[in-house]
Amino acid sequence: ILSPFNFTRRKTGSRDVTFKVAYCGICHSDLHQIRNEWKKSQYPMVPGHEIVGTVLEVGSEVENFSVGDRVGVGCMVWSCQQCDSCSEDLEQYCEKVVWTYNGIYVDGSPTFGGYSSWMVCDQRFVLKIPENLPFDAAAPLLCAGITVYSPMKYFQMTQPGRKLGVVGLGGLGHMAVKFGKAFGLQVTVISTSPKKEKEAREDLGADHFLISKDQKQMQDAAKSLDYIIDTVSADHPLLPLLSLLKVNGRLVLVGMPEKPLCLPSAALVFGRRFVGGSAIGGVKETQEMLDFCGKHNISCMIENIPMDSVNTA
């Protein structure tokens, strides 16, 4: 149960940006961490890694940020800057990466996240929020948005006219639909819930909608998709999804179910299909994603709640 907690942030260092938190998204991973479902939780914990706010102070060596700027911090606050991953702007895969909360910072102190009044962060992990995006609806882009944008770019799911399937229409899923449409793809939403069809088609512009439990619908759509992004974090079978892919089709996992998934080898071999995974994105790519959202006026569908309702939310 989340309850008020007083703690002290470090003073603004020479390379730090200090900002007042305006909004912080509630990510599914916050629930995993609060409940210790990943067996790595450290308490007391201040969750939150979809953080936006206004700069209050910058350090003497900070060049790209000024007081009053609209900024954000996502899932990371530090990495080694020396390994292969860091050298390729893939800080999220650095073995020494420090997460925004439930981590240990380089000075030995615990990291506390965005369910808080203000934030201090190394400038290398601070992002600029485009002026035309609503501040609150931009916050979840820093995790949900980049988590689907990064694999779409890496696995080349950006070719206009190609066909993308999105499994699950939650925080990640609805952003995958929005990015897919912005890239010019034909988008099919794959869901267990018939109630989501209206939202998928009318609010998000999805071209098609499949009920994953409807065997006839799934059979009729066999070998119709070039790519699938699977956002589901609950246990679910992969074979019905792989059957939707064309030859050379790609299925990318961005959700993390608790139990290992069964990978049917025949469905891969007899279709030269590929299964991969992806985690958030590096700082450079996250800024690219934010700029893309600014250009195309893309933000998240949200519900605003006051902090004293956070447990209900």
Question: Is 306 among the domain residues?
Answer: no
- pLDDT number for residue 37: 87
User: How far out from the chain centre does Cα 200 lie?
Assistant: 19
91, 115, 141 - which closes a domain: 141
Q: Are residues 134 and 242 in the same domain?
A: no
Question: Is 237 among the domain residues?
Answer: yes
- pLDDT number for residue 256: 87
Residue 247 to residue 260: CA distance in whole angstroms: 25
Question: Is 223 among the domain residues?
Answer: yes
Number of C-beta neighbours around residue 189 at 10 A: 26
Instruction: Check which CATH number belongs to the domain holding 198 and give it.
Output: 3.40.50.720
Which of 288, 285, 292 is closest to 88 using CA atoms? 285
- pLDDT number for residue 259: 86
Q: Are residues 54 and 123 in the same domain?
A: yes
Parallel, antiparallel, or unpaired for β 70-73 and 127-128?
antiparallel
Question: Is 124 among the domain residues?
Answer: yes
Can you list the alpha helix ranges (DSSP code H) found in the chain?
28-34, 84-87, 135-138, 144-154, 171-182, 197-198, 215-220, 239-242, 265-269, 283-296
Question: Is 312 among the domain residues?
Answer: no
Query: Is 71 within 8 Å of 126 (Cβ atoms)?
Result: yes
Q: Which domain holds residue 268?
A: 145-277
Question: Is 292 among the domain residues?
Answer: no
77, 112, 141 - which closes a domain: 141
Percentage of residues of the chain with pLDDT beyond 90: 95
Question: Is 303 among the domain residues?
Answer: no
Q: Are residues 224 and 271 in the same domain?
A: yes
Q: What is the pTM of this model?
A: 0.96
Q: Are residues 149 and 271 in the same domain?
A: yes
Q: pLDDT per residue over 140-198, tens digit each?
A: 999 999 999 999 999 999 999 999 999 999 999 999 999 999 999 999 999 999 999 99
DSSP-derived secondary structure letter, 203: I
- pLDDT number for residue 95: 97
Q: Are residues 164 and 271 in the same domain?
A: yes
C-alpha angle with apex 104: 123 to 25, nearest 5 degrees? 65
Q: In the structure encoding, which two tokens stand for residue 177, read together?
A: 């639909």
Q: Are residues 61 and 131 in the same domain?
A: yes
Residue 47 is which amino acid?
P
Residue 180 to residue 206: CA distance in whole angstroms: 9
Q: Are residues 271 and 194 in the same domain?
A: yes
Q: Are residues 133 and 169 in the same domain?
A: no
Q: Are residues 63 and 185 in the same domain?
A: no
Question: Is 269 among the domain residues?
Answer: yes
Q: In the structure encoding, which two tokens stand for residue 246, read together?
A: 């064309």
Q: Are residues 132 and 250 in the same domain?
A: no
- pLDDT number for residue 78: 98
110, 141, 172 - which closes a domain: 141
Instruction: Check which CATH number belongs to the domain holding 42 and give it.
Output: 3.90.180.10
- pLDDT number for residue 192: 95
Residue 187 Rama label (left phi>0; alpha psi -120 to 50; beta): beta
Q: Are residues 239 and 152 in the same domain?
A: yes
* Structural domain total, the chain: 2
Q: Are residues 48 and 94 in the same domain?
A: yes
- pLDDT number for residue 153: 97
Low-confidence ranges of the chain (pLDDT < 50): none
Number of C-beta neighbours around residue 261 at 10 A: 14
